[in-house]
Amino acid sequence: MTVVVRVPEGLDAALPVERRGRGLRRDSVRLLVSRGGAVSHHAFTELPGLLRAGDVLVVNTSPTLPAAVDGRMGHARVVVHFSTLGPDGRWAVELRDPDGKGTTRARAGGPEGAVVELPGEVRLVYGEPLSADSGRLWWARVPVDVPRLLRRHGRPIRYSYTERDQPLSVYQTVFAVPSADGTGSAEMPSAARPFTPRLVARLVSRGVQFAPVRLHTGVASPEAHEPPYPERFAVPEPSARLINAARAGGGRVVAVGTTAVRAVESAAGPDGVVRAAAGRTGLVVTPERGVRVVDGLLTGLHEPEASHLLMLEAVAGRAAVERGYAEAVRRLYLWHEFGDVHLLLREEFAH
């Protein structure tokens, strides 16, 4: 980690903005804008005025899954977070302990062969850790259709900084589209949460275009600071063409969320051309790697997780991230998936 962030107590967004007061909507959050060393403060509804005709917003269409399921391991109550579908049909899962307050706390996974009893007499059997460095995420075999199991018995993953459970609809963005196989993201692609149909219409009327991509994101426990693991993504041909055409015409490519950055940069060649692609990406975007396509990033405010902040630095530079986060703390912006958002743009833009 190169930028030190300490989030003061009380800046966690405990509730969705529309549930904090009468008349508030999803787009009632604040928008911090960083461009190089310059920082400005806006309402999110001012976003259309900050973009130009010909700019492209790259949006993640992955739906959020009700990925948390209660279970038992021996006599102990546990909660299973279903994270990622593997290439062999197994799922990467995270085991958590209920904390008695409606949320969970960290618990080591495994050992190999261990069994978790799930609702409907379903038995989850542990395989091996996802990686040699991870005691948290393990591959596990579940002999049923997991998306169906989640629809019947799951609920959205909830972290301790939130006040109470929320329905799944609260965790879906306006861009979410159901997947043919029923899979999706373990955690909401939250940067897109403040968008509303009305705001999307205003952006379109201004000449801003939308390029849909898909990346099913796994769990990112706040107790862990691990680099991202391979995730399923797809960049369709029409979106690749739209992005390339925008760049050729001098438009900016602004990713909505770190998941959109990961997807589109995974589909970009060394020549900066985006080509249709799908599969699994293990790409980690760092300042050393840089970005080939993305000119800006709209994202939430992140905990000091190296992979996220390094991606921000790769897009906008370290000075922008440092000053932006200092301003976010000073002006009491709210963190996490229900919080305020941050638009980072390169100081100079030219193709």
Best CA proximity match to 2, nearest among 260, 347, 320: 320
Portion of the chain with pLDDT greater than 90, in percent? 83
Q: Are 141 and 112 in contact (CB under 8 A)?
A: no
- Within 10 A of 68 (CB to CB), how many other CB atoms are there? 23
pLDDT digits (tens, 9 = 90+) for 64-80: 999 999 999 999 999 99
pLDDT digits (tens, 9 = 90+) for 50-60: 999 999 999 99
Do you find a cis peptide bond into 111, omega within 30 degrees of 0? yes
Q: According to the model, what pLDDT value does residue 3 have?
A: 60
pLDDT at 106 over 50: yes
Other CB atoms within 10 A of residue 113 CB: 8
Per domain, the residue ranges of the chain are: 17-64+170-345, 68-155
In the chain, the percentage of residues whose pLDDT exceeds 70 is: 95
**For the segment 312-335, what is each residue's pLDDT rounded down to a tens digit?**
999 999 889 999 999 999 999 999
Give dist(CA 13, CA 184) in Å, integer: 24
CA gap 288, 313 in Å, rounded: 10
Taking the alpha carbons at both ends of the chain, their separation in whole angstroms is 29
Report the pLDDT value the prediction gives residue 223, as an integer from 0 to 100: 63
Q: CATH assignment of 17-64+170-345?
A: 3.40.1780.10
Distance between CA 45 and CA 14 in Å, rounded? 21
The answer to whether residues 316 and 283 touch, using CB atoms and an 8 Å cutoff, is no
For the cut 80, the answer to whether the pLDDT of residue 89 exceeds it is yes
Q: Which is more confident, 234 or 134? A: 234
pLDDT-based confidence at residue 351 (cuts at 50, 70, 90)? very low
Which pTM was predicted? 0.94
Q: Which tokens in the block code for residue 347?
A: 């100081």
How high is the mean pLDDT of the chain? 93
**What is residue 227's predicted lDDT score, i.e. its pLDDT?**
72
Give tens-digit pLDDT for 281-305: 999 999 999 999 999 999 999 876 6
User: Between 160 and 262, whose confidence is greater?
Assistant: 262
Supply the pLDDT for residue 350: 40
